[in-house]
Chain A
Amino acid sequence: MKLIRTNPFSLNRVSDFDEWFRHPLAGLPSLSSFINNLGEVFPGVAGDKLAVDVHEDKDNYFASFEVPGVKKEDVKIELNNSMLTVSAEKREKDGEKESSYSLTRSVSVPEGVNAEAIAAKLEDGILTVTLPKQERSKPRTIALN
Chain B
Amino acid sequence: MESNKNFVLGVFDDEDVLLHAVESVRGKGVKIHEVYSPFPVHGLDEVLGYKRTRLPIAAFLFGMTGTSLALIMQIWMLGFDWPMIIGGKNFASLPPFIPVTFELTVLLSALGMVATFLIVSDMKPYKWPQQFDLRSTDDKHIMAIDLANNKLDKSAIGAILKESGAQEVNDKNF
Q: Is chain B found bound to chain A in the same assembly?
A: no
